């Protein structure tokens, strides 16, 4: 049993659910299994072979199905490579190297090389995926064409208030756990409708019951690292994010990354709803 899961039964349950979700991928796709120094990496490729490439990196406790709500639109314009992050509940290796090392960048080098992507490529990321994209771009700026990111960690210290709330609500069982998840994801859930919001909360609870999230905080990028982000960077942050300070994210990126823009979304928390039209405008721009 891999240590990233709480039990072998839990690993199998999440794997079955993942396979079922992949069957609902809305466009033609190809499943790739790539060798890397951290073990095998699973990638779903969609879109025309001749189209320009786009790499997608999902968030923590998730897998490539986090892109289901926007993959059809993205695949009209790009050859899209949705990457299962190592150490997450997908089909990539369970390896979790230290985020303070360069091993995630070396892993991404291997993924891009195996895909035949040797020139600079655009990368989209969500939460942990945004941190990984930033880490890679600060270490390999020549391999990143542009970054489209949502709610990135690593620009300031994490907020701790929501952790206290989680502790206080934990004795209240299922009701308390739902309140914790809804509070963490924020007001963006309401825009998904009751059924959509319930599905997201249920999925997060299922993953939490069977998967061990990464311990510890992700490193904060220093000023010199952010100055190496010379490519266009567009970031969406929720003003009501309870996990990271959106104002600090905006201030540091716009002050230090010469071509960065940060859009603060009022009434939005850590869960930033898909804004595919705006993403495509940025990704296909000059």
Mean pLDDT, consecutive 10-residue stretches, the chain (286 aa), reads: 87 97 97 98 98 97 95 98 98 97 98 97 97 98 97 88 42 46 55 55 83 91 98 94 90 97 90 88 91
pLDDT of residue 43: 98
Strand-pair partners of 122: 146
pLDDT of residue 170: 44
Residue 87 and residue 17 in contact, taking contact as beta carbons nearer than 8 Å = no
Cα 169 to Cα 163, 165, 264: the distances in Å are 10, 6, 29
**Angstrom distance (rounded) from CA 40 to CA 151:** 27
Residue 41 and residue 86 in contact, taking contact as beta carbons nearer than 8 Å = yes
Encoded tokens for 261: 């823009």
pLDDT of residue 243: 83
Residue 71 and residue 126 in contact, taking contact as beta carbons nearer than 8 Å = no
Encoded tokens for 217: 């905080």
Fold of 8-158+215-283: Rossmann fold (3.40.50)
Cα 73 to Cα 49, 68, 148, 278: the distances in Å are 16, 10, 15, 12
**Angstrom distance (rounded) from CA 93 to CA 185:** 27
pLDDT of residue 23: 97
pLDDT of residue 162: 52
3-state class (DSSP) for residue 223: helix
Domain ranges of the chain: 8-158+215-283, 161-209
In the block, tokens 């850590």 appear at 270
pLDDT digits (tens, 9 = 90+) for 244-262: 899 999 999 999 999 999 9
Contacts of 71 (CB under 8 A, 6+ apart): 25, 26, 27, 46, 80, 82
């Amino acid at each position: 049993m891999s240590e990233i899961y709480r039990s072998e039964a839990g690993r199998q349950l999440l794997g079955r659910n993942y396979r079922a979700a992949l069957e609902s991928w809305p466009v033609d796709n190809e499943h790739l299994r790539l060798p890397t120094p951290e073990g095998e990496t699973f990638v779903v490729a969609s879109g025309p072979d001749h189209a320009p490439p786009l790499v997608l990196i999902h968030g923590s406790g998730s897998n490539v199905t986090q892109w289901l709500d926007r993959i059809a639109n993205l695949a009209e314009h790009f050859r899209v490579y949705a990457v299962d992050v190592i150490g997450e509940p997908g089909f990539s290796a369970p390896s979790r190297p230290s985020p303070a090392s360069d091993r995630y960048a070396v892993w991404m080098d291997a993924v891009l090389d195996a895909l035949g992507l040797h020139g600079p490529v655009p990368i989209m990321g969500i939460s942990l995926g945004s941190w990984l994209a930033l880490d890679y771009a600060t270490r390999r700026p020549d391999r990143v064409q542009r970054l489209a990111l949502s709610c990135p960690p690593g620009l300031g210290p994490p907020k701790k208030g929501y952790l206290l709330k989680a502790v206080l609500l934990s004795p209240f069982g299922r009701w308390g756990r739902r309140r914790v998840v809804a509070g963490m994801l924020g007001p963006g859930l309401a825009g998904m409708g009751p059924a959509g919001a319930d599905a997201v909360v249920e999925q997060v609870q299922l993953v939490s019951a069977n998967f061990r999230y990464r311990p510890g905080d992700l490193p904060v990028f220093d000023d010199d690292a952010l100055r190496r982000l010379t490519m266009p960077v567009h970031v969406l942050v929720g003003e009501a994010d309870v996990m990271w300070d959106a104002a600090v994210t905006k201030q540091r990126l716009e002050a230090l990354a010469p071509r960065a823009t940060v859009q603060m979304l009022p009434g939005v928390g850590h869960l930033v709803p898909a804004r595919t039209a705006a993403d495509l405008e940025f990704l296909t721009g000059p």
